[in-house]
Amino acid sequence: MSFAKPNIGIIGFKTITITLTLGCLSSSVLATTPDRTNNFKTFADWCRHRSSLSADARHTVEELLKLVQTKECAIADRKLSTLSTLDLSSKGIEDLGPLSGLTNLTYLVLRDNPIVDLQPLSRLTHLTGLLLIDNQVVDLKPLSGLTDLTQLSIESNRVVDLKPLSGLNKLKMLALSNNQIADLKPLSRLNSLRSLSLIGNRITDIKPLSKLKNLGLLLLDNNQIADIKPISKLNDLIFLGLSSNQIADINPVSGLNDLTNLQLDNNRIGDLKPLSGLTKLNTLSLKGNPIADRTCPVKPGSICQF
């Protein structure tokens, strides 16, 4: 049996060649087309061009218009530009571009959104408070220039590298729980910190925290810490969370006389004598430890939770 060879003539080849050429040109044009949004300076710019924006950017614009209860771009821009506080929690926001012109903001809440890229926030240099809990953030570099920040919460994201935070010397509250952090060295010079939360990370070495003498609250629960000597000089600590680690020796906390709340559940602690001098304690949690003598080391005995 024989099959007829398809007859692709000159016209056919020309058609294929033209199609391929146009396809390549189209791809090339798309690849080199400049992003017009780079020139947007105000929310009004984003708003007026919203029909040509990506779906994510358009959604952010629409949420902001809803917030100020107007569809008029100029009016919305005036209203948004006067805001110092903005809460966009649980709005399904992914593209922060339309926020980049809101440079009068001092407090921004973006909790529970699918945000990955923080670059548009780099222009918001007056921010003193930023809450990014429950997002998908990995890269913190865009925050490195926000040197007025005193409160920063990036809990429940995918952060590994803390280097971009190393220069944020005004920070008083830093919450980084439930990320993928192991290296704490970038935090070693943040001497203004009063509150630091690092629950649920991959931390083994806490030496970089040894000079953070102003800390009153330190949460290190659910890590892989065995040696707690570096916190022995943090004499301002009032609340210390160390549950679910690998701690056996608790002598380093024996001199932290201002402690009122100490959480030591699920460790390897057998001897409670080092805690006997912590007379200001009103809560001492010791569940899940191999303690033979369950006599509370401080009074009243009801303080202890075994």
Q: Domain boundaries in the chain?
A: 93-305
Q: How far is CA 222 from CA 121, 245, 267, 282, in A?
A: 31, 6, 10, 22
pLDDT at 161 over 90: yes
Region 61-70: mean pLDDT is 98
Describe the strand order of the beta sheet including 239-241 as a list of residue ranges: 85-87, 107-109, 129-131, 151-153, 173-175, 195-197, 217-219, 239-241, 261-263, 283-285, 304-305
pLDDT value of residue 35: 55
C-alpha to C-alpha distance for 196 and 217, rounded to whole angstroms = 6
**More confident site: 13 or 154:** 154
DSSP reduced 3-state for 165:
helix
pLDDT at 107 over 90: yes
**Whole-prediction pTM:** 0.87
Q: What is the mean pLDDT of the chain?
A: 91
What pLDDT band is residue 39 in, cutting at 50, 70 and 90?
confident
- Alpha-carbon Rg for the chain in angstroms: 28
CATH class of 93-305: alpha beta
pLDDT at 218 over 50: yes
What pLDDT band is residue 217 in, cutting at 50, 70 and 90?
very high
Residue whose entry in the numeric block shows the structure tokens 């809560």: 283
**More confident site: 30 or 177:** 177
Are residues 95 and 118 in contact, defined by beta-carbon separation less than 8 angstroms? no
C-alpha to C-alpha distance for 295 and 134, rounded to whole angstroms = 41
Q: Which structure tokens are listed for 157? A: 């994201």
pLDDT value of residue 36: 64
pLDDT value of residue 37: 67
